[in-house]
Amino acid sequence: MSNLITYITIEDISSGLFRTQIIDLLKMVVNKSDFNFEVIVLNVPWKNKRNKTRLEEYRSELSEFPIKIKYFPLLPPMRYCMKSSLYLVLSTLLISCILKFVISRKTNILHCRSYMATLCANIVSNKPVLFDMRSLWILENISAGNIKNDSLDHRCWSYIERYCLKNSVVSTVVSQWMIEYLSSIVASSDYRLIPIGVDTSNFFYNKISAEHLKLKLGIGNELVVVYSGSLGLSGVNVKALSDLVEKIVLTKVKFKLVLVTNDSDKIVNSALKCMPANIDSVVISPNQKDINCWLSIGDVGIHALPRQLDSRSRLGTKVVEYWANGMPVIVNNNVGDAVGYIEESDVGIVLPASASASASAELKEFLNLPNHRLSYKEQCKEVVDENFDMELISDKYLQCYLEATQSGS
């Protein structure tokens, strides 16, 4: 007899993360088990026209899988939940009411991706809840300036965090440091380290596509530096990214910067204005299925963040996808978890916050390597296979599901 899992998320159904971290994962889980899934997606109403197209695409793709999507364009703007405790309460009531009516009575487990989904699911259901944190959301938003430290809203969200940790049977985190930090808040929660996952059948070096796209862009033998994904919560990493690019410019190594992003033109243009003057750059806005091909034109991937309260836990889906595609990375030392992997597995280079002659010389030597992919191919493959391959990640979630099923029976 099959078991039903309800997966609840407020992730934008048209986002790359919905594809790579939800759909790719669930397809692997159902191929390994007798679990069925209902995926409840709450998104904002003003993106409904675009999202309905993506919804139909997913429903067609999943027609042969025991995965059903229930889509509701009823999500209130979450940004105001960080500004007003009254708005937070009203939003919680609305989302709880929706979930009360749409969660199947036959479900065995609730897998909740986000604080809000976990809060509301725990309120309306007595089924076992898996709290899929993915990030330290409160610290992230304090660092971005969205939540004022020690404010009423901060205290409300801190209460919600503790409530979710205490009332969920499992809390999944993406780094060891998150476990250490959260254990000081709620020691009794069952924490599981489940990093970002990448489907290596979708992310790999595609030589044919690389040659075709380089020809299309008129790229010859120059070094190609790639940045993939959004420019961060509230544009928080633009300055840090600009500083990293400036360090590359100062080495006087010729390179082309390729931004692979679906951020709006306004956000991208604003970011480019912060970059060093006269850099050779191109912006690509790809379909999700084409991102791997665009990554394949790169020699090196980059990521940078400002110092944040949760810096030690930061890694980034983009970094894992760079490695899966066979590229080493350049990061600043605020992408804390990535720094750990680089130092342990030699899959890139870490730039210190302050400039120094030795760091500049090391960066220049790294940039001047004749073939970055050949030099780092084995290390990149090993770090992905041992830590981030979606087959491995799906096994970790499946183990959580099996244990949660037993605890709820």
Give the pLDDT confidence score for residue 406 in this predicted structure. Answer: 83
Give the pLDDT confidence score for residue 1 in this predicted structure. Answer: 44
According to DSSP H, which parts of 62-136 are helical?
85-102, 115-124
For the chain, what are the domain ranges? Answer: 3-196+389-408, 207-387
User: Does residue 372 come out as left (phi exceeding 0), alpha (psi in the -120 to 50 range) or beta?
Assistant: alpha
Mean pLDDT for the chain? 93
Give the pLDDT confidence score for residue 288 in this predicted structure. Answer: 86
Mean pLDDT value across residues 282-291: 92
pLDDT band at 232 (very low <50, low <70, confident <90, very high): low
Q: Buried b / exposed e across 175-186, counting CB within 10 Å, b at 16+?
A: bebbbebbeeeb
**Closest-CA residue to 267 (of 283, 252, 279, 254):** 283
Contact 228, 321 (CB under 8 A): yes
Q: Quick one: which H or E segment has residue 267?
A: helix 265-274
Contact 198, 320 (CB under 8 A): yes
pLDDT in tens, 176-212: 999 999 999 999 899 999 999 999 999 999 999 999 9
Q: What are the Cα distances from residue 25, in Å, to 90, 224, 357?
A: 32, 31, 44
Q: Quick one: which H or E segment has residue 384?
A: helix 372-387
More confident residue, 405 or 103: 103
- Whole-number Å distance between alpha carbons of 385 and 341: 13
pLDDT band at 342 (very low <50, low <70, confident <90, very high): very high
User: Please, which residues have CB within 8 angstroms of residue 179's CB and are 6 or more apart in sequence?
Assistant: 173, 191, 193
According to DSSP H, which parts of 33-171 are helical?
48-61, 85-102, 115-124, 137-143, 152-167
Give the pLDDT confidence score for residue 144 in this predicted structure. Answer: 84
Give the pLDDT confidence score for residue 165 in this predicted structure. Answer: 97
What are the backbone dihedrals phi and psi of residue 162, each rounded to the nearest 5 degrees, phi first? Answer: -60, -40
Q: Is the pLDDT of residue 2 over 80?
A: no
pLDDT band at 408 (very low <50, low <70, confident <90, very high): low
Contact 329, 302 (CB under 8 A): yes
Domain 3-196+389-408 and domain 207-387 have a common topology: yes
Contact 335, 315 (CB under 8 A): yes
pLDDT band at 233 (very low <50, low <70, confident <90, very high): low
Q: Is the pLDDT of residue 268 over 80?
A: yes
Give the pLDDT confidence score for residue 358 in this predicted structure. Answer: 80
- Asked which of 86-95, 231-240, 387-396 is least confident by mean pLDDT, the reply is 231-240
**Closest-CA residue to 62 (of 22, 99, 12):** 22
pLDDT band at 230 (very low <50, low <70, confident <90, very high): confident
Q: Among residues of the chain, what percentage have pLDDT more than 90?
A: 85
- Whole-number Å distance between alpha carbons of 170 and 42: 22
User: Does residue 44 come out as left (phi exceeding 0), alpha (psi in the -120 to 50 range) or beta?
Assistant: beta
Q: Is the pLDDT of residue 52 over 70?
A: yes
Give the pLDDT confidence score for residue 98 in this predicted structure. Answer: 98
Q: Which amino acid is at 179?
A: I
pLDDT in tens, 145-177: 899 999 999 999 999 999 999 999 999 999 999
User: Please, which residues have CB within 8 angstroms of residue 89's CB and are 6 or more apart in sequence?
Assistant: none
Contact 178, 195 (CB under 8 A): no
- Whole-number Å distance between alpha carbons of 208 and 258: 18
pLDDT in tens, 112-134: 999 999 999 999 999 999 999 98
Superfamily name and number for 207-387: Glycogen Phosphorylase B; (3.40.50.2000)
- Both tokens of 262, joined, read 């679906």
- Whole-number Å distance between alpha carbons of 27 and 3: 15
Distance of CA 11 to the CA centre of its chain: 11
- The count of C-alpha atoms lying within 13 angstroms of the C-alpha of 31, restricted to the half-sphere facing its C-beta, is 12
329-332 sheet: strands from edge to edge? 281-284, 255-260, 223-228, 300-303, 329-332, 348-351
Q: Is the pLDDT of residue 355 over 80?
A: no
User: Please, which residues have CB within 8 angstroms of residue 59's CB and are 6 or more apart in sequence?
Assistant: 69
User: Please, which residues have CB within 8 angstroms of residue 174's CB and are 6 or more apart in sequence?
Assistant: 133, 134, 135, 193, 194, 195, 196, 313, 315, 337
Give the pLDDT confidence score for residue 134 in this predicted structure. Answer: 87
pLDDT in tens, 362-396: 999 999 999 999 999 999 999 999 999 999 999 99
Mean pLDDT value across residues 86-103: 97
pLDDT in tens, 295-338: 999 999 999 999 999 999 999 899 999 999 999 999 999 999 99
Domain 3-196+389-408 has CATH 1.10.3720.10: no
Give the pLDDT confidence score for residue 234 in this predicted structure. Answer: 59
Share in percent of the chain as helix, strand, coil (round to 5): 50, 15, 30
